[in-house]
Each structure stands twice: as C-alpha cells, then as structure tokens.
Amino acid sequence: MSIIEVRNLTKDYGLSKGIFNINLEVKQGEIFGFVGTNGSGKTTTIRNLMGFIRPNSGNVYILDQEVNYNTTQIMKHIGYVPGEISFPDIGDGDVFIKSQAEMIGLKNMDYANYLIKKFGLDTTANLKHMSKGMKQKTAIVSAFMAKPDILILDEPSTGLDPLMREIFVEVLIEAKQRGSTIFMSSHVFEEVEKTCDRIALLHNGRIVDVVDMKKIRHNELKTYKIGFENEIDYQKYMNENIYLTSKNNKYLQTTVDVKDEQINEFMKELSQYKVKYIKEVKYTLKKYFLKKISEDKKND
C-alpha cells in the first residue's frame, strides 16, 4: 500500500527554479530517502507534502487523501521536522514539548522522556538561547514522541554532532521497526545509506532516479584497487587487462571494475603478476549519485 503518493507535481518559481513533474510513491513501512544537491528542490517538495504551499500542477496524496483538501485530518498521522526550525517565544524546551503534546492530544509522555534522555537534551534551556543542535533535538523529540504513522523529515540531522547522528539513526530504525513510514531528505549519504530502503535522487528540481538500496549494497559490479610490486608487471597488466578503469603510473596502481561472474577469471589472470596489494573499493550511494548527476548533465 502507498502511504505517500506524488503525481506530476510542479512548483515553478521561474528561472528554472522549483520542482518539475515529480512522481513518487512511498510504501507502508518504508524509509524513503530524498537526496539532492543544494537548491535541487527537496524542501519545496516537502512543503508540498505538508500542504504548506500549493503546487502549480499535480497532486499529493497521503493515506489516499489529497493533501490540500484534507490537511488537518492527515496531519494527525504525521510527525514533521522542518528544514529550518524557528520556535515560538514561549519559554523553555519543556514548555514547547508539552504544548506540542497537548496540541496533538498526547497524554503519555514516556516515549518523549525516553527520547529526551537518549539525546541528552536539556529541556530547561530557553528556546531562544538553544544551540542549533539543541533546537534540532527538540524538533526531533516533538516529531517522534507520539510514535506517528508517518514521519516527514527535512534534513533532520542538521546540526547534530556525529555521536548524536548515530543516536538519530537508532531512533529512526526504532520508528521503522514500529511500522512507521518515513520520508527523509538528507545531504548525508552515509545516513541515508544506513537507513533507507529506497532513495530518490533529485537534481535541478527533477527526479533523476529512484534507486533501491539493495542494488547499491549488493552491486554486481565490484571495484578493486591493485598495486603492483614492480614496473614490469604493472606495465604488462596495463597492456593486457580488459577490466581497467583508471591507472596511476606513479604508484604502479590501477583500479578495475569486475562483474561478479568474472571474478574467478579475473583472480586467475591476476595471479600471474607480482601484486603488492588488492583491496575492494566499496560501491557507495555517493558514487552512484555522482555518476547519475554527470549523466544527467550530459543530457541537459
């Protein structure tokens, strides 16, 4: 079942800025990543999902209801972390979290308190004087505390230090295990790589690709870096090898792409050379993304 469905969504700000003909579906229980360069349209898409802005054309459906017409009803199911956090001037973090709980009718604060403790959040600090990281933690606690069915998160780990990012990933995985559906934009490849089931790559307001993380994790093309003992073996391999993708004459080193089915043959051939080291270069989402962007640029 699709929890979020975006059909032909366009928000055109002029001068090629905005989002154009966005189509995507987020399934029940999925963590869906939304990755893109600065200004590629992540926040614009998320604001449309939340019904904060109206598109020029296209539709957003959440839980089978069109967002612009049923916003209040749908919002009861959503926990939201905005891209830019600005709190009302109502006192300290505790007052804010309690006011948010009251607004959504949350009585049991056990999970909120668990999150506050987990993030080491000092809720006695005045909202106005909170650091960026504290504000972010306060927003995360507010979005997650009611264990909502859907979480819409705009760059949720911005301002968190590496340790807190790890804790955030744990909280995200806990939400997925409870069955929440999560839509999350991010700049941090490692974070989406660790958590997401599928990822949409956004570039210049258009979706370039939607990739299943299984494809990245178990990519059938493996990349190896090989260093040779001496120049003779290095040069010989350079002349005879079919897998080469790059070379480094100074360090007698080459990089090769090998398909899973070629691996035995590749190792057999390599055993005829004096090899100093061989190591697998991990295939990452970042690499995949950069390749897709450069292909997209060529098509412009």
Q: From residue 58, give the alpha-carbon distance in Å to each of 4, 8, 120, 178.
A: 14, 5, 42, 31
Residue closer to ligand ATP, measured from CB, 42 or 137: 42
Q: Shortest approach of ligand ATP to residue 83 CB, angstroms?
A: 6
Q: Shortest approach of ligand ATP to residue 13 CB, angstroms?
A: 4
Residue closer to ligand ATP, measured from CB, 80 or 96: 80
Interior CA angle at 246 toward 243 and 249, to 5°? 115
What is the contact surface with ligand ATP in residues (CB under 6 A)? Answer: 13, 17-18, 36, 38-44, 83
Residue closer to ligand ATP, measured from CB, 39 or 179: 39
Q: Shortest approach of ligand ATP to residue 114 CB, angstroms?
A: 30
Q: Shortest approach of ligand ATP to residue 35 CB, angstroms?
A: 9
For 223-267, the DSSP string reads EEEEEESSHHHHHHHHHH-S-EEEEETTTTEEEEEEEGGGHHHHH
Interior CA angle at 38 toward 37 and 44, to 5°? 100
The side-by-side arrangement of strands in the sheet containing 17-27 is 17-27, 2-14, 57-62, 65-66
Q: Shortest approach of ligand ATP to residue 184 CB, angstroms?
A: 13
Residue closer to ligand ATP, measured from CB, 9 or 115: 9
Q: Shortest approach of ligand ATP to residue 157 CB, angstroms?
A: 13
- Six token digits for residue 192: 């989406």
Tell me how far apart the alpha carbons of residues 75 and 58 are, in angstroms, rounded to a whole number: 20
**Residue 284: phi, psi to the nearest 5?**
-120, 160
Tell me how far apart the alpha carbons of residues 182 and 191 are, in angstroms, rounded to a whole number: 14
Nearest to 33 by CA among 183, 206, 176: 183
Let me know: does 174 contact 112? Beta carbons within 8 Å: no
Residue closer to ligand ATP, measured from CB, 138 or 204: 204
Residue closer to ligand ATP, measured from CB, 41 or 93: 41
Residue closer to ligand ATP, measured from CB, 18 or 227: 18
- Six token digits for residue 157: 């780990």
Q: Shortest approach of ligand ATP to residue 64 CB, angstroms?
A: 26
Paired sense of beta strands 31-36 and 198-203, if any: parallel
